Structure formats: C-alpha cells, structure tokens
Chain A
Amino acid sequence: MDLFAELQSAATQLEKVALMCCHAPAVPNGKKANSPTDILRIKEQMSNQCFEMTVKLKAGKSRIPGETSDAEKDVSECENEIEEAKINHCNKTLALHRMQIWQAISEKVKQNDTEAGRMRASITHTLDLCSKIMKLQQESRDLQDEVTEVQKQKLEVKRLTHEKMREMEELKRMREHPEEGKYSKVLQKGQSVLEKYQRMTTITQNVLRGVIIASRINWRDDPKLRDIALGLESMPDCD
C-alpha cells in the first residue's frame, strides 16, 4: 500500500502546484468554506464522475455480443411471464362474467312476477335434465365398467385355455415319450446283434468259398454243391 501513499502525496503536490499557478495560498485539508482548494477539489470530483460516466457509456456501447444472448433470454422470459399473466387475466375475467351473470339471474328470480316464474320453471326443467344426464352418465359408466369386467374375464379364460392346452400337450408328450424310448432301445440292440451275425455270415461264406475253390472239385456237376456255391453270393434273408 506504499504505492497508494506515494500516489496520494504526488497528487497532493500536483494540487499545490496547480494552486500556486492560480496565485492562491494552499490551505491544508480545506476546512474553510469555498476556499480555492475546495473548489478545485469539487471540480476534481465532478470531472472524475463525468469521466467515469463517459467511460461507462462507451463501455455500454461496445458491448460484447455474448451479453446480448443474456438479454434475449431475459426478454423471452419476460414475454412468457406476460403471456401467463394475460391468460390468467382472461380466465379471471371469464369467471367474473359468469359470476355476474349468475348474480343477475338470481336477482331476477327473487322478484315475484311472471318472468321469474317462467325462469324458475326453466331452471327446474334444466335441473331435471341435468340430473337425468347425470343418471345416464352414471349408467353408461356402470355399463362401461361391466364391459371392462367381462373383457377381463374373457382374457382370463383365454389365458386358462392356453395353460390347459399346454398341459395337455405336455401330458401327450409324456405318454408317448417313454414308450418310444423303451422300444428304440430294444430295436437298437436287435440291430446291433443282426449286424454282428451278418458280419459273421459274410466271413463264413468267404471261408466256405475258399474251401470250395481250394478243394478243386467240380462244383458244377454236383447239383447240391452248385446250389451252395451260387447261394454264397447272396445274403440270407434277414426276415
């Protein structure tokens, strides 16, 4: 803060110099009213304020564009508020009108003349109609409820049917499946046994053919042997 003290003393020196130029005695602290120092000081203060105001005005003119968006946002907010206020006002006016009309009608009904009688009659008629409408609405609502109930039940039944169907299918499958499994096992076993015996038969046939060829007998002459030799080619029937 020494800087401030220096600045202040320099400024005071300058002030003194200015006063000397005006050929006026320097009055410390300016206690006397309207002394030249006071006048100088107030002039200084005024010029200071003017200078600051000019700077502020200039700064306001060369506003950065980023700030305008802020202003726009404010404007849109204000517009919204105005709109809301308008709607509010409109609603309130409507309510007021209704109340006024109702007041007028009730005043009119209170008077005992033919018009009032007619109005009363029309009012009772309207009330009757209103009650009827309400009754009908209630009925329709009840019906609607019933319809909904029925629809619900229908859906429930549908669901149950699906469930039952699924159960039946399951049962069916359960009934068929174990038998299938049992039979297939036996079949497989039989097949494997059959294959084994077929292989054995083939080997035996080959051996027999070899024996017949190796014995060098004329198997065509003997009808019994010929049948055997020719039958060797074919498998014996599985059945």
Chain B
Amino acid sequence: MSLKPYSKLPELNTANVLLVENEEEFQKRLSEAIVRQENSVNVTVRLARCLPLPVENAEGRPRIDLVVFIVHLRSEQSLLSTEASLKHLDSGYFLGKVCFLVTGARSGTVSYERLASIKRTAASLNCPLLMTEDKTTEGVHTAAQRVLNILKVSAGLVPMASGLYLSTLIRCSMPTDSDWQNQD
C-alpha cells in the first residue's frame, strides 16, 4: 500500500516529516537538529529505513507533509534503496512533497555516476535536491534548517504558499553533458 498525501486532515500548527535513510545513522542526528531548531510549530519527525511503511500503524500515523530521501553517495546501496522506495510513494507526493538530501558529494572518491543518477531521478520527478554535509555539526544544522523551510511550505504553514510552487521553483535541473565535462 502506498503512502497517500491527502488521505488525512491537516492539524493546527503541526508539520510531519518522514526521513527515509537506509543506514539509519544520519537521520537521527538530523531529526534531533530539526526538533531543536523549530519552536513556533510542532514538528514531528518520523524515521524509516525504506518504504513502504508497515500497514499496522497506518491509522495512527499523522499526515506526512514531506518525505525526505537521504542518499549517501558513498554507498551504492543507499541509492538503490532510495530508488526502490520511490515506487511506493503516491504520485501526489511528487507535487512538492518530496525532497532529496545528498551527502558526501564533496568527497573526491565517490563516482560521479551516482550523483548524476540521483540528479536525473530528482529532475525527472521535479523534486528539489539538497546537498548537505553530514560530518560536521554546522552541516547538520544547515541541513535541518533547509529541510524545515521546505517542510513549512509543504505542510501549508506559510500563508499564501503551497508545496506546488516549490516543485516549479526549486526543483533540480537535469544534469547536462557539460556538467560531466566540468567534473572530469
């Protein structure tokens, strides 16, 4: 059963974000950072290894306003797991309720193919793609801030703004051949 964005009603001053990460290592720190930063609205962070989510507690689960896929460029498994999880997401989520978080892009040892692949995926789904640093505290802090900004919009907490605008304004652009050459 795929996750559906509009099957539940929104709650007052509440935003729920789902962090999907195969390794379950970065998401804990990120969730702590997110909760620590935000105090004007109630932010609930839910963690998952992969999608689909278990059916048992589907009833008690609140409306998920934003799904964040964390991709570590260091491991191929992380990329594959993300691509497998994407299939279990309702198409409504791709209207500004999905975002990708890429870590380790600065490391020179990772292959550029992985980054290009995730960029292509994000571009084809019209989703924003954030580059973050997971090793330092400031990096996690910044990542949390950026996720929060997007979350507030997609949860409808910012008046006169909607997640639909996000997908057109800050979506990832398709990597071109010149990008390849620059990398080389």
Contact = CB atoms under 8 A, between A and B. Distances in A.
A137 to B, nearest CB: 54
Interface stretch (B52-60, B66-74, B81-89, B160-168): B160-168
Interface of B: 5-6, 9-10, 12-13, 40, 91-92, 95-96, 145-146, 149, 152-153, 155-164
A8 interface: yes
B158 A8 contact: yes
A51 B162 CA distance: 9
B166 to A, nearest CB: 10
13 contacts: A1-B146, A7-B158, A8-B152, A11-B160, A42-B12, A44-B156, A45-B155, A49-B156, A51-B164, A52-B5, A52-B6, A53-B92, A56-B92
B149 A45 contact: no
Interface of A: 1, 4-5, 7-8, 11-12, 14-15, 29-30, 38, 40-42, 44-46, 48-49, 51-53, 55-56, 59-60
A68 B170 CA distance: 29
B98 to A, nearest CB: 13
Contact of B10 (A5, A49, A60): A49
A1 B143 CA distance: 11
A55 B156 CA distance: 15
Nearest to B10: A45
- Which are the 8 A-B pairs with shortest beta-carbon distances? A48-B156, A4-B149, A45-B156, A45-B10, A11-B159, A56-B92, A15-B159, A11-B158
Given A11-B158, A59-B95, A46 B152 contact: no
Nearest to A10: B160
Chain A binding surface SS class: helix
B63 to A, nearest CB: 9
A11 B161 contact: yes
Given A55-B95, A56-B92, A56-B95, A46 B159 contact: no
A47 to B, nearest CB: 8
Nearest to A28: B40
A42 B159 CA distance: 10
Contacts of B6: 49, 52-53, 56
Contacts of B159: 11-12, 14-15, 40-41, 44
A37 to B, nearest CB: 10
A44 B152 CA distance: 13
Contacts of B5: 52
A103 to B, nearest CB: 40
A76 B164 CA distance: 34
B160 A41 contact: no
A18 B12 CA distance: 18
Nearest to B170: A3
Between A5, A7, A30, A53, the greatest number of chain B beta carbons within 10 A of the residue's beta carbon is seen for A7
Contacts of A30: 12-13
A46 B63 CA distance: 13
Contacts of A29: 40
Contacts of A12: 159
A44 B96 CA distance: 17
A48 B162 contact: yes
Nearest to A46: B10
Contacts of A7: 153, 158, 161
A54 to B, nearest CB: 10
B62 to A, nearest CB: 13
